[in-house]
Amino acid sequence: MARCTDRVALITGASRGIGRGIALKLAAEGADIVVNYYSHGQEAQQVAAAIERMGRRALVWQADVADREAVAEMIGAAVARWGHLDIAVANAALSIRSPVVEARWEDVLRTIQVSQFGVFHTCQIAAQHMVGQVGSGRPSKIVIISSILDDLCFPTSAPYTMSKAAINRLGQTMAAELAPYHINVNIVNPGWIDTPGERRFYTEQEIRERGQRIPWGRLGTPEDVAKAVAFLVSDDADYITGATLRIDGGFVLGLELAGSTKQTDP
């Protein structure tokens, strides 16, 4: 049975990668989807077409999540069209990589504006609408897509890792504040996921070879993340809030094992 029937879900950064996977999965679970994008409009339209082929409705909306007014307009448009907003997945992110000593301030600021402030705008404005729906009988769910880089310090990614640590604390704080309203807020920390964005940093051969070093033997897929999100926004996760779910195929565990020393029998 579909777990999101007749619910309205906003997914930021939904034209590609993890966001696309989440949008399609939640549509398959019965939700109508707000397909947010910033710069890949044609791909966003393709996602919307796939959603409509499933018999669900899609609203494609261009907005830079770093622009607070644009986020408010997008969420307001979704509520005006469909009457409510039940699920918000703050997925959009940006990583401009450079060592700290060489980083251009405009790149640092842009990364933080999208990956941290954009998540704040999305979650806060969505929550404001959800609080207003309390008593309607409609469950409200917020999921933040963060990263295992909340815990790991990855060279050349300081602004991104700063942002991920910040949004994890945001999610936990919001979970505590919104618990009296029975609005669930949870965080997902994906590991290394096979998305188009990875091709900015690695060749296909590097992705394949390095993926084999992960304990699970491959990179994660957007679908791996989407399945977890579908659970967290379902009624099955009604009593889960403030949780952080790591989806990494054992990536972090593999680092811990690589750093351990071999023990000999006594």
209 has which bridge partners? none
The pLDDT assigned to 266 comes to 31
The residues, ordered by sequence, that sit 6+ positions from 93 with a Cβ below 8 Å of its Cβ are 13, 114, 115, 118, 119, 145, 147, 160, 163
- Diameter over CA atoms, the chain: 69
- Identify the residue whose tokens are 């897509």: 145
Annotation marks residue 202 as catalytic: no
Q: Which domain holds residue 24?
A: 8-258
| Two structure tokens written together for 240 | 């889960």
- Residue 201 forms part of a structural domain: yes
Q: Are strands 183-190 and 244-247 parallel, antiparallel or unpaired?
A: parallel
d(CA 60, CA 44): 7
- Residue 3 forms part of a structural domain: no
- Residue 265 forms part of a structural domain: no
- Residue 50 forms part of a structural domain: yes
- Residue 41 forms part of a structural domain: yes
Q: Which CATH number do you get for residue 70?
A: 3.40.50.720
The pLDDT assigned to 208 comes to 78
- Identify the residue whose tokens are 């039940």: 86
Question: Could you give the 3-state DSSP secondary structure of residue 192?
Answer: coil
- Residue 106 forms part of a structural domain: yes
Q: How many helices (H) and strands (E) does the chain have?
A: 9, 7
- Residue 128 forms part of a structural domain: yes
Contact 55, 124 (CB under 8 A): no
Amino acid at 122: T
- If 0-12 CB within 10 Å is exposed, 13-18 middle and 19+ buried, where does residue 127 land? buried
Considering the entire predicted model, what is its pTM? 0.93
- Residue 263 forms part of a structural domain: no
Question: Could you give the 3-state DSSP secondary structure of residue 224?
Answer: helix
Amino acid at 244: T
Give the other-Cβ count within 10 Å of 1's Cβ.
5
How far is residue 85 CA from its own chain's centroid? 17
Overall number of domains in the chain:
1
Q: Looking at 37, 38, 160, 239, which residue is catalytic? A: 160
- If 0-12 CB within 10 Å is exposed, 13-18 middle and 19+ buried, where does residue 85 land? buried
Q: pLDDT tens, position by position, for the chain (266 residues)?
A: 689 999 999 999 999 999 999 999 999 999 999 999 999 999 999 999 999 999 999 999 999 999 999 999 999 999 999 999 999 999 999 999 999 999 999 999 999 999 999 999 999 999 999 999 998 889 999 999 999 998 888 899 999 999 999 999 999 999 999 999 999 999 999 998 987 777 777 777 877 777 788 899 999 999 999 999 999 999 999 999 999 999 999 999 888 665 554 433 33
Amino acid at 191: G
Buried b (16+ CB within 10 A) or exposed e, 110-126: ebbbbbbbbbbbbbbbb
Alpha helices, DSSP H, located in the chain:
17-28, 41-53, 68-82, 105-112, 118-132, 158-178, 204-211, 222-232, 251-258
The pLDDT assigned to 262 comes to 41
Contact 223, 180 (CB under 8 A): no
The pLDDT assigned to 131 comes to 97
